[in-house]
Amino acid sequence: ETGVTQSPTHLIKTRGQQVTLRCSSQSGHNTVSWYQQALGQGPQFIFQYYREEENGRGNFPPRFSGLQFPNYSSELNVNALELDDSALYLCASTKAGRIETQYFGPGTRLLVL
């Protein structure tokens, strides 16, 4: 186990609703990245947080937002949910520095109806 935890494990929402996903990083890691993995696809980078600020963003609209807290845990918020937001959301933590191995949590499976 990596020590990265995510909650909840599963979630069902309806279109238009808002959702918050949570991630606790591995001990000693201060950088958290979020990925979206659609069924049958590889993970796609959403954004990364370092020192409580966004430190890079993938090709995702502004309704995907995040936070990082002083204890390095993080939240991913998605507003105005769409059916295509149904996916596995993965959180990864790493030590500071860009090229470091990312250690992933078990993910949150989101279904939007």
Q: Is the CB of 48 or the CB of 74 nearer to other proteins?
A: 48
- Tokens 């989101």 — which residue? 110
Structure tokens at 10: 């599963």
Q: Is the CB of 45 or the CB of 64 nearer to other proteins?
A: 45
3-state secondary structure string across 41-77: CCCEEEEEEECCEEEEECCCCCCEEEEECCCCCEEEE
Within positions 42 to 101, which residues make up the interface with other proteins, using CB under 8 A? Answer: 42-45, 48, 55-56, 58, 88, 90, 92, 98-99, 101
Q: Which stretch binds other proteins (CB under 8 A): 20-28, 68-76, 78-86, 103-111?
A: 103-111
Q: Is the CB of 92 or the CB of 112 nearer to other proteins?
A: 92
Measure the CA–CA gap between 92 and 102, rounded to whole angstroms: 6
